[in-house]
Amino acid sequence: MGMAIETRQRMAKRAAKEIRNGMVVNLGIGIPSLVPDHLATGLGVMFHAENGIVGMGGTPETGQEDENLCNAGGFPVTTLLGSSYFDSAVAFGMIRKGLIDLSILGSLQVSRKGDLANWIIPGKKVPGMGGAMELAGKARKLIVLMSHTDRNGSPKILDECTLPLTALQCVDMIITDMAVFTVEQEELYLKEVFAPYSLDEIASKTGCQFAIEDTVIKIED
């Protein structure tokens, strides 16, 4: 069973709080694509996509989709005043030059040191790594949005990733359906807990040790 839409929206809402005025932000497919719907009013933010857009807005209303306007995952988007279009070579050039302030990606696993594994499960056919390798290496800040456990209930936050890595020590923040962690100096810190989960529940479903802030914030909505 997939993650409830309410949970996905809550995670996207929390990630949106990390966005600051003037940022250029790249969004991965899946839950990250929901982030523009939760952006604070009045922020001057340009959302970037590898297929060649800067200046994406929120999700269009049903029936108002433009079949020629989509994000890198192929889902319909809107554009803001000042948006621009270009080929994917320019889009990747922006990433490789370090012009992306923040990237928000999904992941299969993250290690306590911030290693990222988000592109392949061995034995399953995939089209390729896409832009994740470049974003992991060059974005100034990287946030991961993912479920806390996989479909079998196994932890996705681990001492060491067991799946092929995308990049080493690149993740700054992890937002799951249960909690919010930061990676600081190769150590994992629990910062916030989503209701109704407890610290014991989070510890039991996390595959590594983590430090706990003196004051852990409880997120109720």
Q: Cα–Cα distance between 11 and 5 in angstroms, integer?
A: 10
Q: Is 86 left (phi over 0), alpha (psi -120 to 50) or beta?
A: beta
Q: Which residues are catalytic?
A: 50
Q: In b/e form, how buried is each residue of 147-178, taking b as 16+ CB within 10 angstroms? A: bbbeeeeeebbbeebebebbbeebbbbbbbbb
DSSP-derived letter for residue 218 is E
Q: Give the count of beta carbons closer than 10 Å to the beta carbon of residue 42.
A: 6
Q: Which is it for the CA torsion 169, 175, 177, 178, positive or negative? A: positive
Q: Is the peptide bond before 196 cis (omega within 30 degrees of 0)?
A: yes
